[in-house]
A and B are shown apart, each in its own frame.
Chain A
Amino acid sequence: MTGVPTQPAGSEVRSTNRGAGRALVAVYGIFALAATARASVQLLTKFEQAPLAYLLSALAGVIYIVATITLARGTHTSRRIALIAIIIELVGVVSVGTLSVLYPEAFPRATVWSTYGIGYGFVPLILPIVGLAWLWHTRAS
């Protein structure tokens, strides 16, 4: 495939910011922007309406920012941070998604992760799975 860049000799780790990784970083970037902006507005203007939901939105925003930056850097250290961030992201979207379905009264206002990210076309559920798959795909050989 011509889209895959050649690696310099001696490189053990395929960088997460090459090839399809550039598209993945773009999607993470959009979510970093959307979730952070949304959480900032919510926390600043109506925190008292749904503190739990808004704090979870803020957490989601921070995790998306960390994942975007670490995947974009693509160094050995940043891969490990990305892995942790994406695992937290997966746990977050699955647990918040499940809780928001079982106990809707605890989430009177939507977060990025409510009902597995239904408000964002379920991309928040798919994204961490793709992220983990990408980290696996680019692992040291």
Chain B
Amino acid sequence: MIEALAYVVIALAGVAVIWGLVTAVANKPPGKAQLLFAAGVEIVTVVQSIIAAAKLVAGARPVELATTIAYLIGIVILIPIAWLWANVERSRFSGIVLAVAALGVLAMTIRLLVLWAPAP
């Protein structure tokens, strides 16, 4: 895991949360730009998880290894699942679905930052 990249994920996911809520309030389904942005967040998240996995293989040991692995997998699967679920029935609630997934990615990334500190 790269700390700077984690902050990028947090910022991008935060924008995705707000964007999803804004389209929901405006009573619109997510637009193409919004869906592409979500895909972009996903790509950065995947890069982060791959780098973290490589570091774990190379011997990095966060405080809670099992939890860290679970979170690294969790952050990559949330947005694709939400994307599919949001597109089956496109309405204002599709935006909320994307916002919920992005909030999950945001929270898990913050938790990963804490976990990644080296074990004392």
Chain A interface residues (CB < 8 Å from chain B): 1-3, 5, 18-23, 25-27, 29-30, 33-34, 37-38, 40-41, 44-45
Q: Is the CB of B101 within 8 A of A22?
A: no
Chain B interface residues (CB < 8 Å from chain A): 27, 64, 66-67, 70-71, 74, 77-78, 81-82, 85-86, 88-89, 91-94, 96-97, 100-101, 103-104
A57 to B77, CA, bound (A): 22
What A residues does B78 contact at CB under 8 A?
Answer: 30, 33
A29 to B66, CA, bound (A): 21
A–B pairs, 9, beta carbons within 8 Å? A5-B89, A19-B89, A22-B89, A23-B97, A26-B101, A30-B78, A30-B100, A37-B67, A37-B74
A37 to B70, CA, bound (A): 6
A29 to B64, CA, bound (A): 24
A26 to B102, CA, bound (A): 11
Q: Is the CB of B66 within 8 A of A27?
A: no
Q: Is the CB of A41 within 8 A of B86?
A: no
Secondary structure call for the B interface? helix
Q: Is the CB of A41 within 8 A of B100?
A: no
What A residues does B27 contact at CB under 8 A?
Answer: 1-3
A33 to B85, CA, bound (A): 15
Q: Is the CB of A19 within 8 A of B70?
A: no
A27 to B104, CA, bound (A): 9
Which of A23, A29, A45 meets B96, CB within 8 Å? A23
A45 to B64, CA, bound (A): 10
Q: Is the CB of A41 within 8 A of B104?
A: no
What A residues does B101 contact at CB under 8 A?
Answer: 26, 30
What B residues does A44 contact at CB under 8 A?
Answer: 66
